Amino acid sequence: MTQPGDARVPIRTCIGCRHRHPQTRLHRCVLDASGEISVDRRAPGRGAWLCGPECVEPARRKRAFDRAWRTDVSPEAIARLGARLAELTE
């Protein structure tokens, strides 16, 4: 966490592993109107936070994406998100 004198850093929870991290260490995923998931910190709308590609599968199994965005998310969109996060973390 933060030490005395440090600037306040927002803490977010990964929807896959449920660990809490500073916002800067997580990826914010956003569902657009067409059902595609993008990784974007500034996009409008509800965001779902993930540590990385290793947390996509646990989140899918727990239906955490559906709960985070309050709608059904296609398995294909989740698979594309996993591939996109793997590219970003290489």
d(CA 56, CA 65): 9
Output DSSP code: residue 71. S
Q: CB count, 10 Å around CB of 17?
A: 15
Could you give all domains of the chain from N- to C-terminal order, each with its CATH number? Answer: 11-89 (3.30.1230.10)
The parts of the chain modelled with pLDDT lower than 70 are: 1-6
Please give the pLDDT value at position 64: 98
Token pair for residue 36? Answer: 């595609």
Helix-strand-coil split of the chain, %, nearest 5 = 35, 20, 45
Please give the pLDDT value at position 5: 53
